Amino acid sequence: MKKSILDLNRMVADREKITYLTAYDYLTAKYQERAGVDMILVGDSMGMVTLGYDSTYPVTMDDMIRASRAVRRGAPNTFIIGDMPYMSYQVSDEQAVENAGRFIKEAGCDAVQLEGCTPAIIRRVQAIADAGILVSGHLGLLPQFAAQLGGFKAQGRSAVTAMNLLDQARCIEEAGACMILLEGVPAIVGKEITERAGVPILGIGAGSHTHGQLLIYADMVGMYDNFTPKFVRKYADIGAELLRGFEAYCEDVRSGGFPDDTVDSYVISDEEAQKFEDMLRHR
């Protein structure tokens, strides 16, 4: 059965932890659904993880829609959130609603997510929610605000900034967000926000008290090694395994060990082979 926001709210009420991972392609999403992951974020982190950029800024709506469609094909029953990329919602409420609608209409996402809590972002959350689209807030460490925040740094590490985050979470919830993702904040701040919230609070690097946990899949399976945040736990070493496989393949091709025509090639019956040889002789 396809997961809905009601299932996620029920999990919070029953104190069941929500599992949440990013995915950007069909195959990864398929394995995640098979593993029982509750939610998938098609994050604009795809800019760094799959497109090789050094930030999320260059990612376009078309990049996100193509990836979200593939993820939906791989995970038809999982709750999928489309992450609104840089400049897809900053210009106006109309632009935000139109692009949020594309995630739902063209890609089959269940909800969208947008970063920040400026007065304009609060209006965007309200406009998207008013349009009947489920919207998740994203607070704390905000990759699309890296310039203002001085880079990819944990947030809420002083009493004043921690209090600001509590206020932001309240504002985003009041604006109509159906959930909030908290990124890169101390565990104590994650705990206080979670205890006060009336919507699910998901955390990535926000401690153990949030209603659910998100990780970037390529970090937790050991594929993305350009940079690994402190909060990432490695559950597999797929990068090393890929390297081992690619190196073994190169070695086999170069040495003539692959393909072995007795096992890795198509065969022809003895009778057809004989006819083929006769034809070649008479050519």
Kindly state the tokens that stand for 44: 């604009």
Q: Binding of ligand KIV at residue 63 (CB under 6 A)?
A: no
- Is-cis flag, bond preceding 259, omega within 30? yes
DSSP-assigned states of every residue in 111-129: EEEEE--SHHHHHHHHHHH
Stretch that binds ligand KIV, among 37-45, 67-75, 148-156, 242-250 (CB under 6 A): 37-45
Q: How far apart are CA 181 and CA 201, in angstroms?
A: 6
Kindly state the tokens that stand for 260: 């072995």
Choose between 136 and 253: whose C-beta lies nearer to ligand KIV.
136
Nearest Cα residue to 76 out of 23, 27, 29: 29
Q: Which of 98, 183, 192, 251 is catalytic?
A: 183
Give residues 196-225 in contact with ligand KIV (rule: CB under 6 A): 204, 216
Instruction: Say whether 271 is catalytic.
Output: no
Angle (CA) 49-53-57 rounded to 5° is: 105
Please report how close the Cβ of residue 95 comes to ligand KIV at its closest, in angstroms. 19
Tell me how far CA of residue 21 lies from CA of 74, 93, 276, in angstroms: 14, 28, 55
Q: Binding of ligand KIV at residue 183 (CB under 6 A)?
A: yes
Stretch that binds ligand KIV, among 6-14, 42-50, 61-69, 170-178 (CB under 6 A): 42-50
Please report how close the Cβ of residue 204 comes to ligand KIV at its closest, in angstroms. 5
Q: Binding of ligand KIV at residue 44 (CB under 6 A)?
A: yes
Tell me, by CB under 6 A, how many residues bind ligand KIV: 10
Cite the active site residues. Answer: 183
Interface residue list for ligand KIV (CB under 6 A): 22, 41, 43-45, 83, 181, 183, 204, 216
